[in-house]
Amino acid sequence: MLRCRSDGMLPYELMAIVYDDLTDDIDYDEWYDHVKHQLIDMKIKPYKVLEIGSGTGNMTRRLVDDGLHVTVVEPSEAMLSVLQEKMVENMGKMQFFNGPIATFKSKQRFDVCMAFLDVVNYIEEGELDAFFARVHEQLCAAGVFVLDWSTPYKLREVIGQNTFSENHDDFAYIWENDYVEEDKTLYFDFVMFTELENGTFERHIETHRQFAHDLDTIIRYASKYFEVVSIFGDHHHDPSEKDHRVHLYLRALEEL
């Protein structure tokens, strides 16, 4: 059974280098347009946005280009570094916090909080209540929380026990997975080979752990702090049992 064989690297320290290559199949423009239309339907015109787990900034850039003031909370220093390189001309419209949302506190209150692409999968079930409480605390009255995550079906059936690999000109990677049903947890090693100046390759490993939260579990914890406004599955259609991703739109309760 595969178990964390890391050579000391934290999650996304290594993957940050190739993250945009790994996610180049995502239509960020279509996704962002859908988010904007949902916010319009919810009669929300955001100005201050809190983005949790911004990664390399693919959605961040679109938010800033729309004139929004964005505060980024990103646990990975390497991912944040890539984001800042991309956004160097827009730094005045942004604030950055390198760390988990659990340790983030701001006197600001935000119109919208967003957590895209598996942020929730990195949070254990026992920490979900505190997670939703912290987001609620940072939102304005009736503020909106937009989030999505990989479904148990995807983690178990699509990724499961599979191994994926790609070979590029100056790097290659192997992504080894092990889904453990009793833990409802996906363990995976991301093994990367990068070419050195002398033509040889250097090997590094970082390990990840993602938790398989079903929709009922997320709603059970979220509903203490939020009203569920809308739910979508893959491609923003009605959810189904074989969806790879769930998209959830929540509105903060004004009285708890």
Q: Which residues pair with 246 in a beta bridge?
A: 149
Q: Residue 81 sits in which domain range? A: 27-151+214-252
What pLDDT does 2 receive? 39
- Give the pLDDT confidence score for residue 255 in this predicted structure: 83
Which pair of structure tokens corresponds to residue 46?
């955001």
Torsion of CA 234, 31, 118, 59, to 10 degrees: 170
Domain contains 183: no
Per-residue pLDDT 10s for the chain (256 aa) are: 334 444 445 578 888 888 888 888 899 999 999 999 999 999 999 999 999 999 999 999 999 999 999 999 999 999 999 999 998 888 888 999 999 999 999 999 999 999 999 999 999 999 999 999 999 999 999 999 999 999 999 999 999 999 999 888 878 899 999 999 999 999 999 998 988 888 888 898 999 999 999 999 999 999 999 999 999 999 888 889 999 999 999 999 998 7
Would residue 10 count as lying in a domain? no
* Separation of alpha carbons 91 and 217, rounded Å: 37
CATH number of the domain bearing residue 97: 3.40.50.150
Residue with tokens 């949070």: 123
In a domain, 121, yes or no: yes
Check if the beta carbon of residue 178 is closer than 8 Å to that of residue 186. yes
144 in any annotated domain: yes
Query: How many domains is the chain partitioned into structurally?
Result: 1
Q: Where does the chain have alpha helices with state H?
A: 19-22, 28-41, 58-65, 77-86, 128-138, 152-153, 215-222
